[in-house]
Amino acid sequence: MRHHFTHLRTLDLLMAILSLVSVALVSVRWLELASPQTLQLFYDIDSLICYFFLAHFAYGWWRAPDRWAYLKGNWFYLPGSLPMVEQLRWARLIQLWRVYQLLRDRPDLLAMFRRERNETRLSGILFLFFLLLGVGSGAMYWVESGQPGSQIETPYDAFWWTLVTLSTVGYGDLVPKTEQGRFLASLLILFGVGLYAAISGFMASLFLQPGAGQKEEALRYQQLTEQQAQILAQLQQLRDEIRQLKRDP
Rounded Cα distance, 140 and 187, in Å? 11
Is pLDDT of 129 > 80? yes
94 with 138, same domain? no
134 with 159, same domain? yes
Q: Structural domain of residue 185, as residue ranges?
A: 116-209
CATH of the domain at 165: 1.10.287.70
Enumerate long-range contacts of 168-176, CB under 8 Å, 24 or more apart. Answer: 168/192, 168/193, 168/196, 175/151, 176/140, 176/143, 176/144, 176/150, 176/151, 176/152
pLDDT tens for residues 163-215? 888 887 878 788 888 888 899 999 888 888 888 788 777 777 766 655 544 55
How many domains are there within the chain? 3
The reported pLDDT for the residue numbered 172 is 78
Backbone angles phi, psi at 195, to 5 degrees: -65, -40
147 with 202, same domain? yes
127 with 109, same domain? no
What is this structure's pTM?
A: 0.68
Instruction: Please give the mean pLDDT across all residues of the chain.
Output: 79
The reported pLDDT for the residue numbered 1 is 38
CB contact at 8 A, 149 and 177:
yes
Of all residues in the chain, the percent with pLDDT exceeding 70 is 86
144 with 229, same domain? no
pLDDT tens for residues 57-96? 888 888 788 888 888 877 877 877 877 676 777 777 777 7
189 with 140, same domain? yes
